[in-house]
Structure 1
Amino acid sequence: MAAIASNVIPKPYPTTNAIVSSLRNPSSCCFALNSSLFGDKFLGKSLVASTWSIQRNRSNGSAPFRGLKPIKASSHTFDVVVVGAGIIGLTIARQFLLESDLSVAVVDAAVPCSGATGAGQGYLWMVHKTPGSDKWELAMRSRELWEMFVENVQRQGMDPLEMLGWKKTGSLLIGRTPKDSAMLKRRVDQLSEAGLRAEFLSPHDLLLEEPGLMIGKEGGAAFLPDDCQIDARRAVAFIEKVNRHFVSEGRYGEFYNEPVTTLLRSGRGEVKAVQTSKNTLYNKKAVIVAAGCWSGTLMHDLIMDSGFDLDVPVKPRKGHLLVVENFNSFKLNHGLMEAGYVNHAEGALHSSVSASGQVDAECLSISMTATMDAWGNLVLGSSRQFVGFSTEMDESVINRIWERAGEFFPTLREMSLRDFCERRKVRIGLRPYMPDGKPVIGAVPGLSSLFLAAGHEGEGLSLALGTAEMVANLVLGNPGKVDLAPFALENRCCMLR
């Protein structure tokens, strides 16, 4: 599960509310050049109260973006304004900064990693993706770009593990029945034909790879040895550092803790500026909305007085992850997920709350995923359920995740989750779900210079770099590397004129 937010109160990055192009000393950009950038020391506390307030408002799906009036707004001008500071928004900004001479502003109602990006499981896996599907080309291109990204980090004399939490663990898609094994063998054939290194592991071979795992005699696994893991927070911090190098050139600005309140348009309908609670950000070329699961309500509110209504069907899909810190009862050598995760991830949206307000148990799906991060923490998932914008923790869901993991790891059956109460953390967040399972990426018809990039659900991290390249090429008029048609708004988002 790649895209869920931190539990209860996310640890915010200690950034000022706005870093604008007038700043000439990059070191004044808080942690931009701080030696503790990639450690826990840079996680400050001064913004906890304000961030928590924003998160509470966000839980109802509307408050951060509507009914707010600008306060003594000042004006700034950029070529591109990106709304959303998750992995999608920040990589879009990076793409423009590195591949063009345009200036970019990033605006967000909170701070980076306080939404879906912040505390996901952090895998960049292809083992559960389907060759030939609409997302396959984008996934392959993103994979290529991530590998180029890491090679560049290495060329600069830095350690990708330290900088990004990057490690090549390989991934295992695991089945426990003859039917699962037959499906996994077909998947291995498909992945191999698509050019990836893939092999099927028998139960005996799988036990050699993962001694702590038990699947019985009739199962097996699809194994992709080249799949990687990454730490989302470290990757975001690194990308922010790259972006902030352009502050001194007057090409980059950050406006965090600033909810967007409206769009300013010309008489011809062209979007000219983004109004936040504190600033007016004029754009010369494009406004890109990349606000995760809030993109639908945000888009509706921003264009409600434009003469037509755009229905972007991005829905919040809640997820829980369980993290046991400094876990040493057994070691995972690879990233694992059960075969049922594929259908679990593609489950349809349906009603989840009864008239009494209780969550309908039938809406909850749980599939085993297990990773061990670079610091020895066991990360278990994952749950999926539609409960609106609620981010309340459900202890019963955590217990079910633990029990599900115990079906695959016998050692866990001998342990009580209470034994880890001092070393456990729960991550809860909202994935941006699209009913057809594909992100929506492209221009908004009828509103010149307005673009959308949202709906990546649990694949924001793995699809980020390909999405950023796609958006930048679209805005700049460059030929694309990936076919945009499957992701365009047309015939997927309802527009009422």
Structure 2
Amino acid sequence: MNSLGLPLPKPHLSRQTLISNSKPLIPFLEWRLRSQSSKGFPFLRRERTRIHATTALLQHSEHDVVVVGAGIIGLSIARQLLLESDLSVAIVDAGLPCSGATGAGQGYIWMAHKTPGSDTWELAMRSKYLWEELAESLQRRGLDPLQVLGWKKTGSLLIGRTSEELAILEERVRLLSHTGLRVEFLSSNSLLSREPALEVGKEGGAAFFPDDCQIDAFNTASFIEKGNKCFASKGRYAEFYNDPAKCLVRSERNGVAEAIQTSKNILYFKKALVFAAGAWTGCLMRSLFVETDIVPVPVKPRKGHLIVLENFNGIQLNHGLMEVGYMDHQFASYQPVDNTQHFSSVSMTATTDMNGNLVLGSSRQFSGFCKEVEEPIVKSILERAAEFFPTLNDLFHNLNENGKIRVGFRPYMPDGKPVIGPILRFPKVFLATGHEGSGLSLALGTAEMVADMILDNPSRVDCKPFSVEGRFSHWVLKSSGKVDKKQLKCIHFVNQFMDLRDCEHIRRLSFHSPTKFWKKPD
């Protein structure tokens, strides 16, 4: 990655060197460096002098709302504001739409693994209703939801193979049926009649959810983005892609956040700034709020692999499938890892996309932002899937000819629910992240919730469980050793000019600082 090749700051950089740098380390601001000792890192002190030569190179624009992140959450928030108000919206991303977790997912809108009474239940139900309403609205306009969104009402099967798992399934069927969802328990024989290629043994069974659906992430994001662009001619929508956020611009008079600076632009916002950058939100906040006492949001990247088998006719699926162990697999807690061994888990999921390709998953592991395909993980996914579909055993030797691998980073939160709402110290700054593997399914409900907050509308779903303030008081930042204060200052210094997506690698590789992780106190 390019950021890893950047030279580290030297102890005796001059003030003139920083000002004359063609890619300023700290936009807008001059820095005076004073070395406290010959062995330490430089001590940094901010001056309030503006660097006019730097700002002159940047484009300035004003918007009512700026959204950072062009995944399904960010695009949906922009869409909701454009449809429900007369506000202008700008969307910013370090890459292109769907380049994060959105583009790497399976796209299911399922209630099979959701739990009634949980903090996310109402949001999941509301969001599913909004997705169904969107599909129906397309039909009323004479459009095919399958072609536009990749929308398929396939139903889903939550599968168990042991007596213990069947007991769990029967209890879930009982609980979910009381909520009004259509769900039924299938014995091994009934399951086999629905999915002939599936092998679960005589003790196997499943919970069947006939109303569960799935969408194609790329088609859906493209549709939403195209709709957003219709407002550009009215001066209400703008996009800034391949333009990473660099710093938060605050008023010198009262310290209120008033703009976000990117590598090419300064985007002023009148009403709100929304961070919807998925797994990168925590890294982004640590960089932008480095001089405040704002508690960092403990969102971590949770790497996942999916296998896409193109033109594979060995298995014909009639529904979306997920093993019952996926529920525990989804909420497995974060573990500290070293550079040689990553904590990971694998459970079977299987779907067919809109093009008829078989999509197999899924894995979860905490390994920073390393996007390399890991062959042992891919092999584990295939082995696990082959336990349910013996036909897949023939694929181990020719996967390269038949398959493609998707890798993405789910935004993981330690308490298993997203963060949605304003930051108390910065009431115009909102967060919408931490959806883990449910970003697509919760996107429209999240967008509606954020828009209602910005527009001061009554909330249609209780937003208190997702509040930012006071949420993380029971989580503490731990480290495997001490980090020198001067070292931390230098880390903050590097954060200002590196690619924000590589900040975790910079900390680990450049400074050899202990891996930080969020963990409940004993």
Give the equivalent residue in structure 2 for 1:326: 311
Give, in angstroms, the shift of residue 53 of structure 1. 5.9
State how 1:304-453 maps to structure 2 within 5 Å: 304-305=290-291, 307-353=292-338, 357-360=339-342, 363-413=343-393, 415-453=394-432
Higher mean C-alpha displacement, 83-92 vs 266-275? 266-275
Gapped runs of 5+ residues in structure 1?
1-51, 58-65
Counterpart of 1:311, as a letter, is P
Give, in angstroms, the shift of residue 203 of structure 1. 0.3
- SS of the residue 1:451 aligns to: strand
1:148 lines up with 2:133 in the alignment? yes
Give, in angstroms, the shift of residue 310 of structure 1. 2.4
Between the aligned partners of 1:67 and 1:464, the Cα distance in structure 2 is 35
Counterpart of 1:81, as a letter, is V
C-alpha contact (below 8 Å) 1:440/1:452 kept by paired residues: yes
Between the aligned partners of 1:171 and 1:68, the Cα distance in structure 2 is 50
State how 1:259-338 maps to structure 2 within 5 Å: 259-266=244-251, 267-305=253-291, 307-338=292-323
Counterpart of 1:295, as a letter, is T
Q: Normalized against structure 1, the TM-score is what? A: 0.84
Counterpart of 1:297, as a letter, is C
State how 1:13-32 maps to structure 2 within 5 Å: none
Counterpart of 2:171, as a letter, is R
Between the aligned partners of 1:308 and 1:412, the Cα distance in structure 2 is 52
Give, in angstroms, the shift of residue 473 of structure 1. 0.3
Q: Which has the larger radius of gyration?
A: 2
* Identical-pair percentage: 59
Give the equivalent residue in structure 1 for 2:436: 457
Between the aligned partners of 1:319 and 1:139, the Cα distance in structure 2 is 22
Gapped runs of 5+ residues in structure 2?
6-23, 28-53, 477-522
State how 1:51-70 maps to structure 2 within 5 Å: 67=25, 69=27
Match of 2:86 among 66, 76, 101: 101
Deviation digits for residues 291-319 of structure 1, max 9, x if unmatched? 111101111211222x3232100001011
1:224 lines up with 2:209 in the alignment? yes
Give, in angstroms, the shift of residue 68 of structure 1. 6.5
Structure 1: which 4+ aligned runs deviate by more than 3 Å?
66-71, 493-496
C-alpha contact (below 8 Å) 1:68/1:277 kept by paired residues: no
Give the equivalent residue in structure 2 for 1:11: none
Between the aligned partners of 1:352 and 1:411, the Cα distance in structure 2 is 35
Between the aligned partners of 1:233 and 1:179, the Cα distance in structure 2 is 38
Give, in angstroms, the shift of residue 372 of structure 1. 0.9
C-alpha contact (below 8 Å) 1:287/1:451 kept by paired residues: yes
Between the aligned partners of 2:434 and 2:380, the Cα distance in structure 1 is 27
Give the equivalent residue in structure 2 for 1:47: none
Give, in angstroms, the shift of residue 268 of structure 1. 2.5
C-alpha contact (below 8 Å) 1:124/1:229 kept by paired residues: yes
Between the aligned partners of 1:74 and 1:351, the Cα distance in structure 2 is 42
Give the equivalent residue in structure 1 for 2:456: 477
C-alpha contact (below 8 Å) 1:269/1:447 kept by paired residues: no
Deviation digits for residues 329-354 of structure 1, max 9, x if unmatched? 1200000010000000000001122x
Deviation digits for residues 410-441 of structure 1, max 9, x if unmatched? 2122x033324222100111110000000000
- SS of the residue 1:367 aligns to: strand
Count the aligned residue pairs. Answer: 430
Counterpart of 2:262, as a letter, is T
- Per the alignment, do residues 254 and 221 of structure 1 end up closer, same or farther by CA in structure 2, a change over 3 Å counting? same
Counterpart of 1:287, as a letter, is L
Q: Normalized against structure 2, the TM-score is what? A: 0.80
Q: CA RMSD in A?
A: 1.8
Give the equivalent residue in structure 2 for 1:19: none
C-alpha contact (below 8 Å) 1:269/1:446 kept by paired residues: no
Give the equivalent residue in structure 2 for 1:41: none
C-alpha contact (below 8 Å) 1:88/1:460 kept by paired residues: yes
C-alpha contact (below 8 Å) 1:352/1:385 kept by paired residues: no
